[in-house]
Amino acid sequence: MADAAAPDIPEDLAQVAQEKSIPLELVRRAMALGFPVEAIKMQMSQPGVTAEAAEQFIAEQEKIRGAGGEISVPPELKAIADEFGWPEELVKRALKLGAGVDMLMNQIKAGIRPDQAERFIEQQERAQQGGMEAALDLSWMKVPTEWGIRVRPGKKGLTVGMINVGTYADIPDVWPYHTEMPRGAYPLAGIPTMGYTIYEKAELWADNCADLYEEAIQRRWRPATDIPWDTVEPLPDEIEKAMCQVCTYLCEKGLLAGDVVGKWLPEMSYGYHEVKLYLSTAEFDYARQFEIFRKRALSNGGGMGMQSPGYFHRAIIDARGWTETSAVLHILSNSFVMGIYQLGEYTAHNEAESLIYRLCMQDVARQLAYGVQHLKYFLSRHQDRRAEVHNYLNKGEAIFVFEEEKDTPIKEALIILLGGGTSGEQVADGMSKLEYFRTRWVRDYLARLAAAGLPDRREKIHPSLKKYVQQPEKTEAQAA
């Protein structure tokens, strides 16, 4: 213990070195480099520290510092620092604190900005000057994330959009990380990739997604207790069967959409958490759509109807990218679903049905809003891909029209509900009203595409749908 009592090494530091089997000569060399006693003690106390690792680190630091303690930046580190805009003085300060060359190069390449590093280095320098508690590592408390952020609730509370402040509001065009790291956190080297495939903001972003998430949370409703089920009374068999067929169709739509969104969510990186948050609520809304219409089908002495052909389902499932999926699901398909909800509210036979359709319209309106704003953002960044988006819609519309012609049960069910029965006069009335609702949904669909940046879709729409947007010719009296 003669070495332990040497005056140039404090007794508590020598004790730690002895416990870790680190030669005191290495401790003296570390102190000669200017490292504070508490910093040396803290480093030796960390798990996995060996004499070999300490020797390698000290040798590297001696090489960097040279004679007289002057820090010199190795050429390979300087090249990386220059490439990423790190000032040489900042790099020297990091090296002086004991940062390893390889570790520092990895952190620079990971995207740590100079201003973030500056804050972290200042914290480390203050800690070395003031000393630290040896009982705790506390290095996690010094990561160079933005500190001092405080957001106060507004009239709508503390919303997701409100916490996008300072550097936490920086939403990059391309997200560089392949892990589940939240935006604004400090990256840890060596974390396995999570297999995300969507890293470009334009491929999923919508400016309204944070607000849509808040609305979905605040306006959630419960089919079990929020619907006045006791107002549902017996209906004529043909009306009840028509209603059950529509419910079966809408159940299928909900199941499909929920599965599709669930498939794509794991592909989206966490740099764009607002989108993932909103789409998680959309997935819940689709599940509720299935729940509510299955309950309506079974609540009045009816039951499930006939399965739809499912051709249009393939247009959504087989989409190769999220933007294609969203355009076909959220704009094309949901425009038609919104039309059925409007039709259902128009033909409602009781307070329960009326409320069901109104609440479902509220839910699908958010899905439409996301679809429109995402497509708008995508086109604003990729004007060269407009023809590609038109091709998505060409395929989707063609399959939609084909299925509409083949799906006799849903078409006849809608006619019966609109006409009020199956007599010749009622069927004629129902067919006339169905044409009105078709015209309405096609025009709303085109209006949404125009708002998304595709006003020319009006001229490119499928021929079977184009008749619904053509203005009738003026009569001679109107022309005059």
Q: pLDDT tens digit string along 84-103?
A: 898 988 888 888 777 778 87
383 and 462 belong to one structural domain: yes
CA angle 466, 468, 474 (to 5 degrees): 105
Residue 423 lies in a domain: yes
Query: What is the structure's pLDDT at 22?
Result: 86
User: Which residue segment(s) compose the domain that 52 sits in?
Assistant: 11-142
Q: Which of 78, 117, 127, 128 is nearest to 94 (CA)?
A: 117
Residue 233 lies in a domain: yes
* 115-162 tens-digit pLDDT: 888 888 887 777 666 554 445 667 788 788 888 888 889 998 999 999
450 and 329 belong to one structural domain: yes
Of 111, 142, 173, which one is at a domain's C-terminal end? 142
Residue 82 lies in a domain: yes
283 and 426 belong to one structural domain: yes
263 and 409 belong to one structural domain: yes
Query: What is the structure's pLDDT at 25?
Result: 84
Residue 118 lies in a domain: yes
Query: What is the structure's pLDDT at 8?
Result: 67
Residue pointed to by tokens 């509220």: 362
Residue pointed to by tokens 């933007």: 323
The pTM assigned to this predicted structure is: 0.73
- Give the chain's end-to-end CA distance (angstroms, integer): 115
Give strand pairing partners of 174.
200
CA angle 322, 323, 329 (to 5 degrees): 85
Query: What is the structure's pLDDT at 99?
Result: 75
132 and 231 belong to one structural domain: no
270 and 384 belong to one structural domain: yes
Phi, psi for 145 (deg, rounded to 5): -85, 165
Residue 384 lies in a domain: yes
114 and 251 belong to one structural domain: no
Residue 406 lies in a domain: yes
* 284 burial via Cβ count (<10 Å: 0-12, 13-18, 19+): middle
Q: Which of 370, 350, 409, 197 is nearest to 285 (CA)?
A: 370
pLDDT reading at 448 higher than 90: yes
Buried b (16+ CB within 10 A) or exposed e, 325-346: bbbbbbbbbbbbbbbbbbbbbe
275 and 415 belong to one structural domain: yes
* 54-66 tens-digit pLDDT: 787 777 777 776 6
Question: Angle, nearest 10°, between helix axes 37-45 and 24-32?
Answer: 130
Q: Which of 394, 388, 377, 387 is nearest to 452 (CA)?
A: 377
Amino acid (one-letter) located at 476: E
Of 125, 142, 159, which one is at a domain's C-terminal end? 142
Q: Give the number of domains in the chain.
A: 2
Residue 366 lies in a domain: yes
Residue pointed to by tokens 């997935």: 283
Which of 19-28, 94-103, 277-286, 338-347 shows the lowest per-residue confidence on average (mean pLDDT)? 94-103
Residue 468 to residue 470: CA distance in whole angstroms: 6
Q: Decide if 383 contacts 208 (C-beta within 8 A).
A: no
325 and 247 belong to one structural domain: yes
- Whole-angstrom CA distances from 299 to 224, 233, 247, 404 are 12, 9, 11, 28
Of 142, 171, 188, which one is at a domain's C-terminal end? 142
Residue 300 to residue 291: CA distance in whole angstroms: 15
Residue 80 to residue 73: CA distance in whole angstroms: 11
Residue 150 lies in a domain: no
416 and 339 belong to one structural domain: yes
Structure tokens at 10: 């404090």
* 419-437 tens-digit pLDDT: 999 999 999 999 999 999 9
* 339-385 tens-digit pLDDT: 999 999 999 999 999 999 999 999 999 999 999 999 999 999 999 99
Instruction: List, in order, residues 6 or more apart from 92 with CB less than 8 Å away.
Output: 71, 73
111 three-state secondary structure: coil
Query: What is the structure's pLDDT at 275?
Result: 98
CATH number of the domain residue 390 falls in: 1.10.620.20
Amino acid (one-letter) located at 311: Y
Q: Decide if 88 contacts 81 (C-beta within 8 A).
A: yes
The better pLDDT of the pair 40, 386 is held by 386
77 and 224 belong to one structural domain: no
Residue 22 to residue 16: CA distance in whole angstroms: 9
114 and 236 belong to one structural domain: no
Residue 24 to residue 20: CA distance in whole angstroms: 11
251 three-state secondary structure: helix
